[in-house]
Structure 1
Amino acid sequence: MSADNDISLDEKRVYSGDRRETTAYVASGMGVVTVDVVDERVGGFELAHRCSARDVAAGDGLVAVATDEAVLVGPGEFEASGFGPAVAVGLSGDGLLAAGQDGEIARYDEVSGDWNALGTCEGDVRAIDGDLVAASDGVYRLTDDMAHAGLDDVRDVAASGIPRAATGAGLYYLGNGWMDHLDGEFTLVASDGDRGHALGGGELLRLADDGRWQVHPHQPDAEFVDLDYGDTVYAVSADGRFFAEGEDGWRHQLLGMPDVAAVAVPR
């Protein structure tokens, strides 16, 4: 699809000179919220852009937001990218990805300024991470096009390190095909290649050094809807709180925003 409001993504990339200070981005029903964090210390927050945000992704100096009207790119002044209403966004090694409300997956071409369609999911898209898409009818893998890669009722995916999928029937990892690691209903899985977390059966799990999942010693007093990594672990909950993990547990800040859906931390 062609971008009516073509912009250069390179123009949106900014880099901070202070590596200890991080701005986390939260997608909410009221808009994009920025939260200042230093390690596990949560600072100020503000509504950076008013919209109905469904998802957010950040990396390589770029922030992308899926909204009910368009895919926006920032940071700073968020601008329309030429992609219409979206339910999910993601960043892979090949660039910015977006999922439309009809299940169409497209990748942004920075050279031409166009969105190139890769294919369409038959089910509802629920998440994009790296080159993986989580949908109600399974996992899709993205290359120059897209292909169904198995499973069903996939709630979330994590592409870094060993690919993993959270489904309504269990937590899976990709080995010789999809291998059942844990049974039960899982709603969240995340990994940065070194750290890993999953949410299932009302418990937060973390990946141990031996590759086994263990119950997190500090259970949050809310249900996480998304989780990402920076200097520590950051998460957002269904009741609108932003969490940062410290040595003695989770610190949190009430954002006061409705329909919090996702968090992204540039790294």
Structure 2
Amino acid sequence: MTELTSDDDGEVEGDNADDERMLFGEKREETTLLAGSGLGITRIDVAAAQVGQFSLLDRATVRGLASDGRDVVVATDQHVAVRTDDGLHPLGFGPAEAVGLDDSWIYAADGERVARLDRSAGLDATAGDWETVGSVDHPRRFAGDLLAGDRLVRVGDTLDAQGLSAVRDLSADGALAATADGVYERRGGEWVEVLAGDATAVVADGDRAHAVVDGRLLERDGAEWSELTLPGGETPHLLAYTQTLAVIDTAGTVHVAADPDVTHDGHGGWRSQAIGLPDVTALIAVR
């Protein structure tokens, strides 16, 4: 499949695009976020813990996103597709709620079936290339071959139950799970509750971990969790990691936690930008 590329033709840019080009023209590490919504896929650039230019890449009703840094796979209300220089290229699977991928497979789930596609099929994939392996009610999120839904399963030749239910989100490494009962961490092959409450989002990366529980944003420091408050008391919705933590709230505003060491003014705290995307369904970092 094609490598991830940025398509600047026809993009709908944010109002502050000129200022952001100056910011992003400097030699600072950049990360790209992709946000899926009913409008489509929106690209959001982040550098120096500052939200930069944002633009609409593809128009579609997006239900899920996944990336391995090389390919971006999209679940829409019409089909599973991969992003190419020419837009969204269907892969032979119809509407889906969740998509995922690893080195060998692309995964999709639509509430009635869970299936996988050998990545060697490439852009010529058809419906007959998908291998159905089972079903999971209310599929929500893949982390590699792990699928979060009404039950947590590992997708292989069959579905292997992993011992959790009502799973809403998974960290990219599959080590943390957000469920209706709380946040669980896999330790020695067992799931251990580390936070109680209604957990809806979780991210983890090495020593970092953040979660949304009972509508509150929580950060792990060692074994302890503490609450972070977004500007204006907004409610956190989806989480991702750039160089630092990125949050989209329920009103469609992006917040980035600024490290004083990488900001222009040497001050930390939140950097926020309204991007006009309510009801965001997916948020991933692609580089």
Indicate the TM-score class for this superposition, using the shorter chain for normalisation.
0.7 to 0.9
- Give the whole-Å Cα distance in 2 for the aligned partners of 1:145 and 1:118: 9
Q: Could you tell me the TM-score, scaled by structure 1's length?
A: 0.84
Instruction: Return the offset for 1:199.
Output: 1.0
Q: 1:91 to 1:233 in 2, by over 3 A?
A: farther
One-letter code aligned to 2:179? T
One-letter code aligned to 2:44? V
One-letter code aligned to 2:242? G
From 123, 131, 142, the equivalent of 1:128 is 142
The 5-angstrom pairing of residues 1-267 of structure 1 reads 9=1, 11-14=2-5, 20-76=29-85, 77-102=87-112, 104-113=113-122, 114=125, 115-136=129-150, 138-160=151-173, 163-175=175-187, 176-208=189-221, 210=222, 212-219=223-230, 221-247=233-259, 248-267=268-287
Instruction: Return the offset for 1:192.
Output: 2.5
Instruction: Return the offset for 1:72.
Output: 2.0
- Give the whole-Å Cα distance in 2 for the aligned partners of 1:257 and 1:184: 27
Q: 1:95 to 1:226 in 2, by over 3 A?
A: farther
User: Where in structure 2 are there 5+ consecutive unaligned residues?
Assistant: 7-26, 260-267
Helix, strand or coil: the match of 2:121? coil
One-letter code aligned to 2:273? Q
Q: 1:144 to 1:229 in 2, by over 3 A?
A: farther
- Give the whole-Å Cα distance in 2 for the aligned partners of 1:110 and 1:178: 31
- Give the whole-Å Cα distance in 2 for the aligned partners of 1:106 and 1:39: 39
User: Where in structure 1 are there 5+ consecutive unaligned residues?
Assistant: 1-8
One-letter code aligned to 2:57? A
Instruction: Return the offset for 1:250.
Output: 2.1
- Give the whole-Å Cα distance in 2 for the aligned partners of 1:218 and 1:143: 40
Helix, strand or coil: the match of 1:234? strand
Q: 1:67 to 1:47 in 2, by over 3 A?
A: same
The answer to whether the 8 Å contact 2:35/2:281 transfers is yes
Q: 1:143 to 1:249 in 2, by over 3 A?
A: farther
Structure of larger gyration radius: 2
Helix, strand or coil: the match of 1:141? strand
Q: 1:205 to 1:238 in 2, by over 3 A?
A: same
Q: Could you tell me the TM-score, scaled by structure 2's length?
A: 0.79
Instruction: Return the offset for 1:219.
Output: 4.0
Between structures 1 and 2, the one with greater helix share: 2
- Give the whole-Å Cα distance in 1 for the aligned partners of 2:159 and 2:39: 32
One-letter code aligned to 2:186? L
Instruction: Return the offset for 1:241.
Output: 1.5
Instruction: Return the offset for 1:264.
Output: 1.0
Instruction: Return the offset for 1:152.
Output: 1.8
Instruction: Return the offset for 1:228.
Output: 1.3
Instruction: Return the offset for 1:75.
Output: 4.8
**How many corresponding residue pairs?**
251
Helix, strand or coil: the match of 2:254? strand
How large is the Cα RMSD of the aligned pairs? 2.3
- Give the whole-Å Cα distance in 2 for the aligned partners of 1:218 and 1:184: 18
